[in-house]
Amino acid sequence: MKPGISREGSPERVEKPAAGSRQMMVVGTGTTRSGSRCLPLFLLLLLGSSCHMLHGQEVAPYLRGGGLGQQVVLEGNRLVLTCLAGGSWPLQYRWTLNNSNITDWTPQYRLSMPSLKRTDAGLYQCTVRNRMGAVIHRKTEVQVAFLGNVSAEEQRKTVTQGRAAIISPPPLASFPRPLVTWYKDGHKIIPNNRIAITMDNQLVVLATTATDAGRYHVEAVNEMTGENVTSPAVYLSISVGKKNRGSTDPESEQVAPAIVIGPKDTTVVTGSEATLECIANARPVDGLVVSWKREGRRLAGGRRLII
């Protein structure tokens, strides 16, 4: 259809608005040649954009950052864990410790503990949710550094001359494992071929003689907290065997080799290091040889085998 020609073919009257008058445009629906009605194109675009914006505002929660896999905190200090996440608001957070809920759903993304106790150690994990779903954050292992107290009492121990004396430290709760030092009559003990300190911090005196009698104690230091404790004393006495009573040189008696600290079953993660320990007694101790074998094949010699 040409401009100015009506559908019937007669000229269409076109009037221009008078000067200074306001022009009003009325937008209605158009009609196709088939007679059906349709919305103008810009209205369709506007509606489509509105629908897209509504869907775009609803985003399921997602994590921001991987977090810390492990934290070591001194006992009594403050612990703050954060659970960084994005997504449509409102977001809600819930914390668990060793798979047990310790908080309700809350809008707070931080877990704050003003004074940490050793019983608070464990695996922490947060869950984030909104109307679109939920996501679980990776676990964070929290370890509490502390040094407990020694509650043991003084002990007395007697060993036959030539045999091995094994003195165990008193039970002591600590994290990390404390650094242990043994003392005899106030003097620090230096391990040698006759005196050994096991991986469990036991003191082993081989081929004992009368000079080994005395007062023994242990000091434990937690290098992370800076704390230290001293154990009660263990008084060691050395006796003479019945067949050597009256002998002018009881220390010359030979003692057959015997294992006093044997290797223990050990489980390790593939690719990590394993250490086995074996301590034997004999007299004379200088001629004692400890050998390690696996399926009959000799591996190495010495009190410890590192695999």
pLDDT score, position 132: 95
Give residue 177's pLDDT.
96
Range of the structural domain that residue 216 is part of: 155-242+253-306
In a domain, 4, yes or no: no
Q: How far apart are the first and last CA of the chain?
A: 95
User: DSSP letters of 243-275?
Assistant: GGTT-S-GGG--EEEEEEE--------TTS--E
Tell which phi-psi region holds residue 125, choosing left (phi > 0), alpha (psi between -120 and 50) or beta: beta
Mean pLDDT of 206-233: 97
Q: Are residues 142 and 160 in the same domain?
A: no
Asked if residue 53 belongs to a domain, the reply is: no
- Say what the pLDDT of residue 152 is: 82
Last residue of a domain, one of 79, 112, 146: 146
CA-derived radius of gyration, the chain: 41
Same domain, residue pair 287 and 188? yes
Specify if 5 maps to a domain. no
Cα separation, 5 vs 65, in Å, equals 68
The answer to whether the beta carbons of residues 93 and 81 sit under 8 Å apart is no
Alpha-carbon gap, residue 242 to 260, rounded angstroms: 22
Across 70-92, average pLDDT: 95
199 and 224 inside one domain: yes
Q: Is 41 helix (H, G, I), strand (E, B) or coil?
A: helix
Based on the fold, state whether residues 161 and 294 are members of the same structural domain.
Answer: yes
**Of 83, 111, 146, which residue constitutes the final position of a domain?**
146
Distance CA 75, CA 98 (A): 19
Whether 26 is covered by a domain: the verdict is: no
pLDDT of 10 > 60? The answer is no
> CA–CA separation, 196 vs 166, rounded Å?
10
**Rounded distance, CA 241 to CA 285, Å?**
18
Q: How would DSSP label each residue in 123-137?
A: EEEEEEEETTEEEEP
Please state, for a pLDDT cut of 70, what percent of the chain lies above it: 78
Does 46 score more than 80 pLDDT? no
113: enclosing H helix or E strand: strand 110-113
Same domain for 167 and 294: yes
The tokens of 265 are what?
């079953």
Please check whether residue 124 lies inside any domain of the structure: yes
Q: Assess whether 203 and 97 both reside in one domain.
A: no
- C-alpha distances in angstroms, 24 versus 17, 21, 41, 194? 10, 10, 20, 110
At 193 the pLDDT is: 93
Other CB atoms within 10 Å distance of the CB of residue 53? 9
Q: What is the pTM of this model?
A: 0.72
Q: What value does the mean pLDDT take over residues 194-214?
A: 97
Which of 96, 121, 146 lies at the terminal end of a domain, its last residue? 146
**CATH code for the domain in which residue 169 is found:** 2.60.40.10
Do the Cβ atoms of 218 and 180 come closer than 8 Å?
yes
The pLDDT value given to residue 69: 85
Domain tally for the chain? 2
Question: Would residue 125 count as lying in a domain?
Answer: yes
Give the least confident one: 6-10, 72-76, 87-91. Answer: 6-10
Percentage above 90 pLDDT, the chain: 72
Q: Residue 289 corresponds to which tokens in the numbers above?
A: 């040889």
Residues 205 and 289 in one domain: yes
Q: Do 207 and 282 meet the contact criterion of CB atoms below 8 Å apart?
A: yes
Residue 13 domain flag = no
Pairing of strands 37-38, 255-261: unpaired
Q: In whole angstroms, give the CA distance from residue 233 to residue 217.
A: 5
Mean pLDDT of 160-186: 96
286 and 208 within one domain: yes
**pLDDT tens track for 240-269:** 876 665 555 566 788 999 999 999 999 999
The region of weakest confidence among 29-43, 141-155, 183-197 is 29-43
pLDDT, position 201? 97
Q: Which residue has the higher pLDDT, 232 or 253?
A: 232
Least confident of 4-18, 249-263, 278-292: 4-18
Distances (CA, A) of 78 to 73, 81, 114, 274: 8, 10, 4, 35
**83 and 187 fall within a common domain:** no
- Tell me the pLDDT of the chain averaged across its residues: 84
Whether 161 and 129 share a structural domain:
no
In a domain, 10, yes or no: no
Residue type for position 180? V
pLDDT of residue 127: 97
